[in-house]
Amino acid sequence: MNTDEMIELCKRHTMYTWAAGGAVNPLPIDRAEGIFLYTPDGKQILDFNSQLMSVNIGHGNPKVIAAMKEALDKLIYVFPGTATEIRAKVSARLARLVPGDINTFFFTLGGAEANENAIRAAKLYTGRQKILARYRSYHGATNATMQLTGDPRRWANEPGMPGVVHVFDPSPYNYSFGESDEEKTARNLEYLEELIMYEGPQTIAAMFIESVTGTNGILPPPEGYLKGLRALLDQHGILLVCDEVMAGFGRTGKMFGFEHGGIVPDIVTMAKGLTSSYIPLGAMGVSDAIAQHFRENVFWGGLTYNSHAFSLATADAVLDVIEEDGLVENAANLQSVMRSEMDRLIEKHPSVKEGRCIGLFGMMDLQKNSRGEPLAPYNGSHPAMVALGKAFMEAGLFTFVRWSSFMCNPPLCINEEELRAGFAIIDQCLGVTDEAFEG
């Protein structure tokens, strides 16, 4: 099949996500290895977003592929009511890896299903119905998780599950909460406390947060926020659910994002990096107290592919690579390189407003004038941003460009030289947005 035929059939017979299919211009990919993608005509493209911030160990890792082949010969699938060695092994391994008393796991196929089951667990455990979530968030595309999601992808899907209350996070540009970390944390938590009072704390089962917000800004929480939030929610018997689907498994320079805040949530959800997207798998991990509740009470949830043996074998091999190759440490070490490259671009390009990064989780924001107004409006576009995306692709760099920002999330196996090479490509392309800068 030639490339044009492939694209034409994909467009004719499949639906693309978050888009009108006719407007999609899919990137033709033949194979992928390490930090690179290859088009059918052999063009090499640096994957600067780990696809959907998910191929944490890089593409086509031979150790994982060998383990997957071995697993195929042993056991692919049995129903969720069974006990298997791989289910025992991976759940015990996660109990060791996830800090605190999160020792019991419910396996799903992806992140949205993990969050769906976290909603269910929180409601059943507390007997309460409402959920708090933040505007700057994405939690999945199923009915309930779409309602938790704060970003505009929710709008066309409303109304969905009732009982979700959205709140502000202490964002970097929301100066009404103050400028210093201390002020942002204190004022945001005061606001939240008042909001909880009006909603009725006895009606709220849980609050969902991305420990480090992903698509909606790469926003590490200000100092003290996670500890303060944990204490406030505890005071009212509201569970804290940390969505680690994107931030987990080393992306932020720690195994899980919430570790930066020195807290342990009641429930943690994960997917993406758990198998590095080599095969679908997600999980919800619960505290010992919640686990005990569901030993005594029915957990009213199930999935055909719960605890899928082949997915779990893949996760086990991926976790070996993350641990043996020191990928969490590599992400932590390269943070300063990403920071220095971002600072260099801010200094050099008038259209670059700001860059944020934690580990190898990064985003840069572009501005249209020296007052710092975003180049494109919220949920909108600008011809210069479209041109920037094209320039990245032509120069051999894949990443997400959305609204006024672009992502810097390479696989965690990248080295310093390769990371700097990625930023050198970005540097070359930013002339496009500098031309749109109005001064």
Ligand X SMILES: Cc1ncc(COP(=O)(O)O)c(C=O)c1O
Residues near ligand X, by CB under 6 A: 52, 110-112, 115, 138-140, 210, 214-215, 243, 245-246, 271
Q: Which residue is nearest to ligand X (CB)?
A: 111
**Distance in Å, CB of 248 to ligand X, minimum:** 9
Query: Could you give the CA distance from residue 109 to residue 77 in angstroms, rounded to a whole number?
Result: 13
**Distance in Å, CB of 21 to ligand X, minimum:** 19
43 close to 27: Cβ distance less than 8 angstroms: no
Task: Render 30-93 in DSSP notation, one character per residue.
Answer: -EEEBTEEE-TT--EEEETTHHHHT-TT-BT-HHHHHHHHHHHHH-----TTS--HHHHHHHHH
**Distance in Å, CB of 409 to ligand X, minimum:** 11
**Distance in Å, CB of 8 to ligand X, minimum:** 27
**Distance in Å, CB of 138 to ligand X, minimum:** 5
Residue closer to ligand X by CB (options 337, 407) is 407
Residue closer to ligand X by CB (options 286, 432) is 286
Residue closer to ligand X by CB (options 283, 391) is 283
Query: Could you give the CA distance from residue 409 to residue 400 in angstroms, rounded to a whole number?
Result: 9
Residue closer to ligand X by CB (options 243, 341) is 243
267 close to 48: Cβ distance less than 8 angstroms: no
**Distance in Å, CB of 343 to ligand X, minimum:** 27
Query: Could you give the CA distance from residue 49 to residue 361 in angstroms, rounded to a whole number?
Result: 9
Beta bridge partners, 302, equal none
Could you say which DSSP state residue 261 is in?
G
Residue closer to ligand X by CB (options 138, 423) is 138
**Distance in Å, CB of 311 to ligand X, minimum:** 12
Task: Render 3-15 in DSSP notation, one character per residue.
Answer: HHHHHHHHHHH-P
**Phi/psi of residue 416, each to 5°?**
-60, -45
Sheet hosting strand 31-33, strand order edge to edge: 31-33, 36-38, 44-47, 397-398
Residue closer to ligand X by CB (options 115, 252) is 115
Residue closer to ligand X by CB (options 192, 271) is 271
